[in-house]
Every structure is written in C-alpha cells, then in structure tokens.
C-alpha cells in the first residue's frame, strides 16, 4: 500500500467517522472502485440515445438502470462481485448519463430555477448566465477542507465559475459573479485536470465553484472520459501548457504516481460534489450513481433570509428535500452550516433542528469561518444595504451558542467542526469549553 493511502487511513478521524464515510474512504485508498466505474458496467436496453424517444423516457430508463447499479454496488461493497471481471456493455448507464445530460442542457433544468433555456444555442441565458461552455478559475491540492477530505495530500479541488445563487457575502464572488473569469476547458480537458490531481496524490476530486450544479453537463462528460480513457488521459506536451494555466499550485513539485489512482488497472478517484444543494430532481437522479460523497451547504432557515441575502426563493424546502433524498438513498455526506452574525435564531437553530429531526447521525460542520465579503463588506463600494445585519464577523458568544445547540440536539458535529481547533484528546472536553 502506498504511504499516501496508509497515512490517510491511519488518521484519527476514521475511528470516529469511518462507519459514516466507509465507502468514500474505501474508494480514496482504492479498496473499492469509484461509482462511475461500476455505472460503466451496467447495461442499458438500447444501443444508443437515438433509440430512446424522449428525455422523459430516458430518465425513466435511467432510474430503472440505477436500481441495477445499486444491486451491483452492494455486491461490490460486500466483496461478492469484482467489476474487472465484467465486460463493459455496448451502451452503459454512464453512457446514458452523458447523453441524457447533453439533452437536458438544451432545455436546462439542472437546478431548481428550471429556466428551460437552450444553453447549447446560447441565445437566451438563465439564472447562471452560462452557455454550455465551462470555465475553471483554479484547481489545486486544497488543504483547507475538512480533515476527511484534505487528508495528508489535499483535496483535488476544481473551482468552476458562475453560480445559480447570489449570496451577498460570497467568499468566492470573483468567480461566482464573473462568468467570464477563468479559462474555458472542454470536458476531456477537465477530465485531464482531475487525472493530474489524482495521480499527484489527492484523496478525491472535489467539484466546486461558484457552483458545480450549473456545470453538471461538463462534469458528467468529464467523468465519462475518466472511466473510458483512464490512464490514456495523461497530458502530452501539446496539452499540458493550457492545463497548467489555472493550476494554482503548479510551482509545487508533486510526485506523480499512477498507483495513486488505480483500482485493478482502472483509473479510480472518488467524486466529491461540493454544492449549495439547489439542484433539480433530474440532477439528483443523474448524479446518484456517479457521486461517491456529497458536501452540501445548508445556509438559511425557512424564513425570508435566503431571498434577502442570496436572492434565492424556495431555498429551505429545496435543500431540505434534496438532503432528505440523499439520506433515504443511503448516500454518504458531510453537511456544512455557516454560522452568520445575527442569524442564530432564524437560520442556525431551524437548520440544526431539521437535521437532527430528519437526517440524524449525519456529520455536520457548524462553521465559524464567516467574514463579511463582497456585498456584505461595509468598507466596499459595492456594499449592499440588504447586508446590514451580516456586515461583521460572528461574535464568540454566537459561535458558542451555535455549537451548544448542536450539542444539545445530539448532532454528529464535533469531529468535523472542531478538528482544527482541538486535539483528539481535548475533543472529549468540549462541554467544558461550551459551558465556560
């Protein structure tokens, strides 16, 4: 076993969260094949997308084939099946995912806005203001994520531009608000970027932004290339220069080793979807057999805060419904809730209560990293009066109140929330910190 895997698997966090994130850990260390490699072995009863009458029929076929995927996935996880012994079918679930998403983006319903515009034609734009072109602002080994994701060699983070929400306080507003930021890449080039991150030792491929939901068409096709080209994606001399334009840590001489991303000869990397969770039901359905672990935000309570601070209607019900669906599906996830100043009662408490009541046991990061950025920065000429109550950092008292409420609700939050602040020995002394 590579030292990368050995050191990652030996981290203290797995003794506490391994039962919740066991599949993800297994794919990270190449004990299991990533879901996309399994989906690439599930046969579809058609020879191509042309044999299917409509998008609605394709979604129905996809949903039925996902049940076959789930059966195969269970067998793989239990050691009852080895996918390397299975031939790739003429037309697979992964093939259908690629073709279906290409069709959906021509009347785009990737997110809850359901704009219905033809992004391929590009004559009208929806909430994300994007055509089918996908731009990347940067990619790198991210050492600022939760320990389960950053591990010892970093999370392979790929930052897309643009977003389907308009958070006044966005810490990535340079890429979420500017759709022309970054470099346009084809899906195959995006796959090559993911490939490079993995063979440099990253523990996962972290699709983020901006917001990755509005780039699902490019992500799914990039995953298709990872499955079907695998190690042939190694960039050649004529390709590497463009790929390095957005590699923020290209100055670091990471050691490349194909074994970092190999499962019995297949290219292998866990797919992490780092999202605001404002997805449509179609996107949820398509991503289910492709994403190994989810990292969703749950920012706002059921009041009007999401409308005032993010210009986003239907927020609470959409995110809650999608999270409940992931929980019922048995998907692995870590939820992030950002504690904002003045929003403990209206947002933090209702969000944490909903999690405790509806998806108990799910790891939750109750984050204290809020700072007034972008339109919430009172010193910025772009400051919005709507951000009057979040134009400061949360106080220590507000953060402690949030953590104490998570404690009182019995949420699974300590390890992912406090691992940067406390040693493993002092985690047990959390109550003393809260009470004092």
Structure tokens at 24: 């993800």
| CA–CA distance, 278 with 312 (Å, rounded to integer) | 9
| CA–CA distance, 94 with 102 (Å, rounded to integer) | 13
DSSP secondary structure string for all residues of 204-219:
-EEEESS-GGGGHHHH
Check pLDDT > 80 for residue 414: yes
Structure tokens at 225: 């290339």
| CA–CA distance, 190 with 195 (Å, rounded to integer) | 9
Return the pLDDT at 424.
46
Q: In whole angstroms, what separates CA 62 from the centre of its chain?
A: 21
Model confidence pLDDT, tens digit, residues 360-375: 999 999 999 999 999 9
Residue 127 resides in a domain: no
Return the pLDDT at 315.
98
Cα angle for residues 65, 69, 72 (degrees, 5° grid): 140
Q: With pLDDT > 90 as the criterion, what percentage of the chain qualifies?
A: 92
> Which residue matches tokens 């690629």?
98
CB 158 within 8 A of CB 126: no
Structure tokens at 49: 């997308």
| CA–CA distance, 109 with 399 (Å, rounded to integer) | 37
Q: Which of 248, 370, 247, 357 is nearest to 297 (CA)?
A: 370
Overall size of the chain counted in residues: 436
Q: With pLDDT > 70 as the criterion, what percentage of the chain qualifies?
A: 96
| CA–CA distance, 289 with 57 (Å, rounded to integer) | 18
Return the pLDDT at 5.
83
| CA–CA distance, 264 with 143 (Å, rounded to integer) | 28
Q: Which of 283, 286, 359, 285 is nearest to 324 (CA)?
A: 359
Quick check: helix, strand or coil at residue 264?
coil
Return the pLDDT at 178.
87
Cα angle for residues 226, 232, 235 (degrees, 5° grid): 95
Model confidence pLDDT, tens digit, residues 220-246: 999 999 999 999 999 998 899 999 999
| CA atoms in the 13 A half-sphere facing the CB of 3 | 4
DSSP secondary structure string for all residues of 87-118:
PPPSSBHHHHHHHHHHHHGGG--SBTT-----
Residue 126 resides in a domain: no
Model confidence pLDDT, tens digit, residues 14-30: 999 989 999 999 999 99
Provide the CATH number for the domain around residue 64: 3.20.20.70
Structure tokens at 109: 């319903």
> Which residue matches tokens 């506490």?
16
Structure tokens at 11: 């981290």
Average pLDDT over residues 177-195: 95
CB 268 within 8 A of CB 261: yes
Check pLDDT > 90 for residue 4: no
Backbone angles phi, psi at 338, to 5 degrees: -90, 115
| CA–CA distance, 373 with 136 (Å, rounded to integer) | 21
DSSP secondary structure string for all residues of 24-76:
HHHHHTTSS--HHHHHTTSB-SSSSGGGS--HHHHHHHHHHHHHHHHHHHHHH
Q: How confident is the model at residue 1 (pLDDT cuts 50, 70, 90)?
A: low
Residue 31 resides in a domain: yes
| Alpha helices (runs of H) in 119-275, residue ranges in sequence order | 147-150, 173-176, 187-199, 216-228, 237-243
Structure tokens at 172: 């990535």
| CA–CA distance, 303 with 344 (Å, rounded to integer) | 13
Mean pLDDT over each residue of the chain, to the nearest integer = 95
Using DSSP bridges, classify how beta strands 262-263 and 266-267 pair: parallel, antiparallel or unpaired: antiparallel
What domain count does the chain have? Answer: 1
Return the pLDDT at 426.
52
> Which residue matches tokens 């994606």?
233
Q: Which of 28, 112, 93 is nearest to 317 (CA)?
A: 112
Residue 372 resides in a domain: yes
Q: Which domain holds residue 213?
A: 3-120+132-435
Residue 424 resides in a domain: yes
Q: How confident is the model at residue 330 (pLDDT cuts 50, 70, 90)?
A: very high
Q: How confident is the model at residue 430 (pLDDT cuts 50, 70, 90)?
A: low
Q: Which of 81, 65, 63 is nearest to 73 (CA)?
A: 81
Model confidence pLDDT, tens digit, residues 101-150: 999 999 999 999 999 999 999 999 999 999 999 999 999 999 999 999 99
Q: Which of 273, 279, 220 is nearest to 99 (CA)?
A: 220
Q: How confident is the model at residue 41 (pLDDT cuts 50, 70, 90)?
A: very high
């Amino acid at each position: 076993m590579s030292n990368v895997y050995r050191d990652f698997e030996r981290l203290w966090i797995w003794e506490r969260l391994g039962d919740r994130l066991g599949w993800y850990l297994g794919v990270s260390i190449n004990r299991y094949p990533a879901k996309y490699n399994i989906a690439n072995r599930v046969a579809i009863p058609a020879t191509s997308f042309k044999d299917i009458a409509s998008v609605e029929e394709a979604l129905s076929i996809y949903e039925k084939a996902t049940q076959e995927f789930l059966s195969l996935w269970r067998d793989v996880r239990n050691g009852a099946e080895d996918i390397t012994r299975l031939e790739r079918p003429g037309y697979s679930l992964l093939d259908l995912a690629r073709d279906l998403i290409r069709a959906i983006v021509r009347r785009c319903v990737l997110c809850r806005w359901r704009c219905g515009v033809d992004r391929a034609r590009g004559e009208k734009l929806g909430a994300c203001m994007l055509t089918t072109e996908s731009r990347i602002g940067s990619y790198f080994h991210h050492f600022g994520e939760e320990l389960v994701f950053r591990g010892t060699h970093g999370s392979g983070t790929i930052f897309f531009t643009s977003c389907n929400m308009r958070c006044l306080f966005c810490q990535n507003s340079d890429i979420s608000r500017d759709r022309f930021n970054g470099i346009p890449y084809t899906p195959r080039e995006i796959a090559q970027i993911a490939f490079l991150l993995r063979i440099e030792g990253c523990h996962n491929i972290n699709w983020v932004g901006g917001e990755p939901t509005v780039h699902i068409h490019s992500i799914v096709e990039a995953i298709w290339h990872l499955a079907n080209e695998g190690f042939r994606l190694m960039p050649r001399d004529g390709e590497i220069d463009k790929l390095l334009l957005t590699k923020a840590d290209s100055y670091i001489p990471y050691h490349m080793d194909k074994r970092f991303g190999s499962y019995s000869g297949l290219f292998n990397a866990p797919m992490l979807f780092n999202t605001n969770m404002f997805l449509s039901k179609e996107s949820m359905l398509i991503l289910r057999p492709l994403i190994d672990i989810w990292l969703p935000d749950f920012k706002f309570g059921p009041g009007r805060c999401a409308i005032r601070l993010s210009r986003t209607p239907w927020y609470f019900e959409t995110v809650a419904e999608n999270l409940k669906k992931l929980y019922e599906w048995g998907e692995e996830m870590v939820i992030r809730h950002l504690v904002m100043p003045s929003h403990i009662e209206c947002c933090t408490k209702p969000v944490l209560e909903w999690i405790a009541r509806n998806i108990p046991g799910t790891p939750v990061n109750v984050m204290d990293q809020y700072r007034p950025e972008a339109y919430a920065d009172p010193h910025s000429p772009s400051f919005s009066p709507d951000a009057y109550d979040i134009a400061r950092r949360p106080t220590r008292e507000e953060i402690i109140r949030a953590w104490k409420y998570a404690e009182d609700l019995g949420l699974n939050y300590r390890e992912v929330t406090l691992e940067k602040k406390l040693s493993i020995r002092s985690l047990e002394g959390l109550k003393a910190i809260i009470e004092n």
